[in-house]
């Protein structure tokens, strides 16, 4: 059995271009789907997949670890730069889909079988509509509360918001009070039964992240995400130690050694490795073993397209430390047109039931994808009041 070709299908989904990867074998009808979505880097990733494909076309797709080593280590440059790591991840996910199809089993069965009956999912405020997640006025606590109530009405028991505004390295009380007001309004609106998460998008400096963390601690957040740059392990560790709210991070980390350092410094309680960036299911499973050794939970980053969600669920059904699946459901109204999924999500409680189809259980509708060709992603840039550059 040989890999015959590796194709990419780009599907413009407003905020992102979903990059679907199709690994085609020389066996009739046997192919796998992966996803390598990397917003604002679509052309680079498509090119990187072409470069990496040179290494493995003609090889046996069943030798996943061997091919992963080729993709990561050959051609001199290691595969942890974000573009190449995303390309490798997309191909790796497709190889596991093929392995599942060969076995006639969902991927989670290949990873040792299911460790749970269902997986809880959470949404972004607004369900992934970018204006409702990224563009609520920072002093509009009422709007945060309305959207949180709406998510509960849609059946979610957990939701994430970007209630921490961009701040310069040091600022006074105003942004802290605004974040606190937004979270207080959401908590008042949904009560204690619903889990709220705040994503800081690594906007704050460690000093500001600590201030936000302390201010929001009394509201019992489920987790507090990227409270400072992921590169700043001491900052993450200090915030994680100073608050009872668990810190979550990892979506921008692409290699095992960096996760080792993060975990060893106790920079987080929740690992948000992104399966489409951290080396695919092969990389994520190694990271999960490392997290397990530190009793760190898993909640993979997943705001991308439907293949990424399927991969996260297959991973989650096989990983004891997996706590919740990030989902986006309202980014584009035609999301369901491009994919047929093997798993189901109940509208009441938004619990994912396991996929029973082979591999990832997904089928991409290639004709539907063609209706949404590549478009440049909408720019998202942050400048502080004085014109200096901030983090989005
Ligand atoms: Mg995030």
Same domain, yes or no: 116 and 95: no
pLDDT over 70 percentage in the chain: 100
Instruction: Quote the pLDDT of residue 335.
Output: 92
Residues 162-186, mean pLDDT to the nearest whole number: 97
Write the CATH number for 44: 3.30.390.10
Same domain, yes or no: 121 and 98: no
pLDDT tens digit sequence for 5-17: 999 999 999 889 9
Write the CATH number for 258: 3.20.20.120
Instruction: Quote the pLDDT of residue 161.
Output: 96
Clarify whether 329 is annotated catalytic.
Answer: no
Same domain, yes or no: 76 and 151: no
**Alpha carbon of 51 to ligand 1 centroid (Å):** 29
Instruction: Quote the pLDDT of residue 76.
Output: 95
The confidence band for 329, taking pLDDT boundaries of 50, 70 and 90, is: confident
Position 388 in a domain: no
- List the domain range (segments joined by +) for residue 75: 3-106
The confidence band for 134, taking pLDDT boundaries of 50, 70 and 90, is: confident
pLDDT tens digit sequence for 37-46: 999 999 999 9
**Alpha carbon of 76 to ligand 1 centroid (Å):** 31
Q: Which stretches does DSSP call E strand in 14-100?
A: 16-25, 31-35
Pairing of strands 389-390, 382-383: antiparallel
Instruction: Quote the pLDDT of residue 142.
Output: 95
Q: How many separate domains does the chain show?
A: 2
Instruction: Quote the pLDDT of residue 60.
Output: 98
Instruction: Quote the pLDDT of residue 327.
Output: 96
pLDDT > 90? residue 30: yes
**Alpha carbon of 63 to ligand 1 centroid (Å):** 33
- The mean of the pLDDT values for the chain is 96
The residue annotated as part of the active site, out of 41, 301, 329, 372, is: 301
Partners of 351 in the beta sheet?
Answer: 120
Residue ranges near ligand 1 (ion) with Cβ within 5 Å: 199
Instruction: Quote the pLDDT of residue 316.
Output: 98
**Alpha carbon of 384 to ligand 1 centroid (Å):** 20
Instruction: Quote the pLDDT of residue 186.
Output: 98
pLDDT over 90 percentage in the chain: 94
The residue annotated as part of the active site, out of 201, 294, 329, 372, is: 201
The confidence band for 139, taking pLDDT boundaries of 50, 70 and 90, is: confident
Position 366 in a domain: no
pLDDT > 80? residue 128: no
pLDDT tens digit sequence for 301-326: 999 999 999 999 999 999 999 999 99
Clarify whether 201 is annotated catalytic.
Answer: yes
Position 209 in a domain: yes
**Alpha carbon of 19 to ligand 1 centroid (Å):** 19
Position 351 in a domain: yes
Cα of first residue to Cα of last residue in the chain, in angstroms, is 45
Partners of 19 in the beta sheet?
Answer: 10
Same domain, yes or no: 214 and 171: yes
Partners of 56 in the beta sheet?
Answer: none
Same domain, yes or no: 229 and 340: yes
Same domain, yes or no: 34 and 178: no
Position 182 in a domain: yes
Same domain, yes or no: 312 and 222: yes
- pTM value? 0.97
Instruction: Decide which of 106, 140, 169 is a domain's last residue.
Output: 106
150 to 43, 86, 157, 258, 294: CA distances (angstroms): 36, 33, 11, 38, 36
pLDDT > 80? residue 218: yes
Residue found by looking up tokens 């997309």 in the block: 90
**Alpha carbon of 225 to ligand 1 centroid (Å):** 6
**Alpha carbon of 58 to ligand 1 centroid (Å):** 37
């Amino acid at each position: 059995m040989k890999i015959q070709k590796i194709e990419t299908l780009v599907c413009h989904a407003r905020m992102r271009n979903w990059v679907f990867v199709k690994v085609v074998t020389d066996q009739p009808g046997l192919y796998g789907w992966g996803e390598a979505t990397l917003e604002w880097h679509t052309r680079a990733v498509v090119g990187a997949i072409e470069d990496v494909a040179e290494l493995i076309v003609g090889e046996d797709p069943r030798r996943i670890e061997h091919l992963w080593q080729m993709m990561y280590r050959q051609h001199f440059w290691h595969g942890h730069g974000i573009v190449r790591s995303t390309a490798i991840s997309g191909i790796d996910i497709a190889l596991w889909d093929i392995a599942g199809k060969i076995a006639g089993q969902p991927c989670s069965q290949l990873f040792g079988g299911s460790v749970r009956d269902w997986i809880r999912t959470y949404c972004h405020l607004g369900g992934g509509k970018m204006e409702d997640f990224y563009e609520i006025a920072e002093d509009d606590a009422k709007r945060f509360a309305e959207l949180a109530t709406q998510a509960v009405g849609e059946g979610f028991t957990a939701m994430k918001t970007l209630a921490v505004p961009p701040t310069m390295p040091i600022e006074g009380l105003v942004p802290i009070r605004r974040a606190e007001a937004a979270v207080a309004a959401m908590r008042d609106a949904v009560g204690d039964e619903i889990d709220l998460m705040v994503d800081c998008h690594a906007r704050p400096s460690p000093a500001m992240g600590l201030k936000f963390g302390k201010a929001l601690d009394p509201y019992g957040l489920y987790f507090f995400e990227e409270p400072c740059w992921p590169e700043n392990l001491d900052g993450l560790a200090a915030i994680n130690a100073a608050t009872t709210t668990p810190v979550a991070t990892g979506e921008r980390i692409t290699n095992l050694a960096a996760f080792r350092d993060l975990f060893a410094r106790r920079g987080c309680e929740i690992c948000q490795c992104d399966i489409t960036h951290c080396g695919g299911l092969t990389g994520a499973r190694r990271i999960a073993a490392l997290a397990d050794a530190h009793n760190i939970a898993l909640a993979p980053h997943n705001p991308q397209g439907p293949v990424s969600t399927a991969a996260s669920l297959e991973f989650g059904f096989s990983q004891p430390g997996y706590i919740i699946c990030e989902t986006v459901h309202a980014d584009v109204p035609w999301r369901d047109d491009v994919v047929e999924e093997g798993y189901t999500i109940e509208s009441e409680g938004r619990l994912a039931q396991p996929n029973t189809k082979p591999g990832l259980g997904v089928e991409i509708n290639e004709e539907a994808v063609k209706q949404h060709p590549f478009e440049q992603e909408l720019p998202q840039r942050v400048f502080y009041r004085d014109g200096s550059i901030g983090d989005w």
